[in-house]
């Protein structure tokens, strides 16, 4: 990573180490830089609006910068910009009267959903690109022999129903939004906020 950075900057590989001590520092600087793009619109005031806004923006940020899914976990949150994002979400959760542990659990649950769902979306996108498939239909066509074999066993009737009748299987934004709403609804119901 450091060698590649030095090459792109047109400097000697060791010159990059004058500015950062290694790969972890570089990851942290990159994460901090792109995380500074996250902000909540002024009209978002309630806990749900604020957490939803950050969740949607984080997904969009990760889709623009797929390398974010490869960052070692501790570095994701320990930068000034990432801490500011977390602080804003915890601040709005604090207004709900939740205890400290519940606040952090709610924040981490939404964050985990966003990162997991988006990493899965990115993995599928990369898989399709690696095989030269440009659409969901092309992907399904390429995987049809294996899928038909599995469906012909009769062991996966619900998956088969989904494959044949789902309206949103090629709409990751719809799927993400529905999952996010389920998470937020669950937090509201479980924690009474």
pLDDT in tens, 33-92: 998 999 988 888 899 999 999 999 999 999 999 988 877 665 556 789 989 999 999 999
User: Is 80 exceeded by the pLDDT of residue 171?
Assistant: yes
CATH topology of domain 39-134+170-191: Tetracycline Repressor; domain 2 (1.10.357)
Nearest to 107 by CA among 48, 63, 156: 48
Q: Looking at residue 19, what is its pLDDT?
A: 65
| Pick from 72, 189, 55, 51: nearest CA to 114 | 55
Inform me whether the pLDDT recorded for 134 exceeds 70. Answer: yes
**What is the domain partition of the chain in residue ranges?**
39-134+170-191, 136-169
Q: How many CA atoms, within 13 angstroms, populate the side-chain half-sphere of residue 67? A: 9
């Amino acid at each position: 990573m450091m060698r590649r950075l030095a090459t792109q900057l047109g400097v000697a590989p060791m010159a990059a180490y004058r500015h950062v001590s290694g790969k972890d520092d570089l990851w942290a600087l990159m994460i901090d830089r792109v995380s500074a793009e996250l902000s909540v619109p002024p009209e978002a005031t309630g806990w749900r609006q604020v957490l939803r806004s950050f969740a949607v923006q984080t997904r969009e940020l990760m889709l623009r910068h797929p390398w974010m899914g490869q960052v070692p976990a501790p570095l994701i949150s320990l930068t000034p910009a990432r801490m500011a994002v977390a602080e804003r979400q915890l601040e709005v959760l604090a207004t709900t009267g939740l205890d400290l542990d519940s606040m952090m659990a709610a924040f981490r649950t939404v964050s985990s959903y966003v990162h997991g769902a988006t990493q899965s979306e990115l993995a599928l996108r990369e898989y399709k690109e690696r095989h030269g498939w440009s659409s969901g239909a092309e992907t399904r066509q390429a995987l049809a022999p294996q899928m038909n074999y599995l469906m012909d066993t009769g062991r996966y009737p619900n998956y088969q129903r989904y494959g044949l009748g789902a309206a949103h299987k090629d709409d990751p934004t719809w799927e993400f939004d529905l999952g996010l709403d389920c998470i937020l609804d669950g937090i509201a119901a479980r924690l009474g906020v």
